[in-house]
């Protein structure tokens, strides 16, 4: 902890920092052109999303996660599949890749908080970062694997 602060300052920096990072990245990623996001095929082990259903029981909790895409102009809501035509499925898959990368970028910002947190605060920050981002990453991967499975059938 190179920067010594009172506990109230640490809490304020942690809360404000994460809010700025998460919202800033979400806003920034919605401004990037869709052509920058080419997800590639899902991994074979994802089994069209069945891996996430079996291991994480994802269908029982994924609907509880917020979809910040609605908060920004140009965002692509991913809460439900609006259409099943090939173009929409491909766009949706791109948007899941955009969302996944945004959450990975947020996780990559975690070490910044080590500048002012004591060691136990680092643990809290790491727990928050993982708890706030990994479920979203898992849902994006699950949705993309499912979309690609549906797209192959529709194709």
List phi, psi (to 5°) of 40: 75, 175
Please state, in angstroms and rounded to a whole number, the distance separating the CA atoms of residues 12 and 72: 25
Percent of the chain with pLDDT over 90: 74
Region 86-105 average pLDDT: 93
What's the predicted TM-score (pTM) here? 0.92
DSSP secondary structure letter of residue 109:
T
**115 pLDDT exceeds 90?**
yes
Question: What is the pLDDT at residue 155?
Answer: 59
Residue 40 tokens, joined: 């590639």
Task: Name the band, by pLDDT with cuts 50, 70 and 90, for residue 137.
Answer: very high
Burial class of residue 143 (count of CB atoms within 10 Å of its CB; 0-12, 13-18, 19+)? buried
């Amino acid at each position: 902890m190179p920067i010594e602060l009172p506990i109230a300052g640490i809490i304020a920096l942690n809360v404000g920092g994460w809010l700025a990072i998460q919202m800033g990245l979400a806003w920034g990623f919605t401004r990037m052109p869709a052509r920058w996001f080419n997800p590639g095929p899902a991994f074979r082990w994802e089994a069209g999303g069945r891996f996430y259903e079996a291991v994480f029981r994802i269908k029982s909790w994924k609907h509880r996660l917020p979809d910040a895409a609605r908060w920004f102009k140009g965002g692509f809501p991913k809460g439900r599949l609006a259409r099943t035509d090939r173009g929409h499925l491909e766009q949706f898959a791109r948007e899941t890749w955009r969302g996944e990368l945004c959450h990975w970028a947020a996780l990559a910002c975690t070490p910044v908080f080590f500048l002012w947190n004591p060691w136990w605060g680092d643990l809290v920050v790491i727990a928050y970062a993982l708890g706030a981002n990994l479920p979203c990453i898992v849902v994006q991967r699950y949705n993309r694997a499912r979309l690609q499975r549906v797209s192959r059938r529709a194709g």
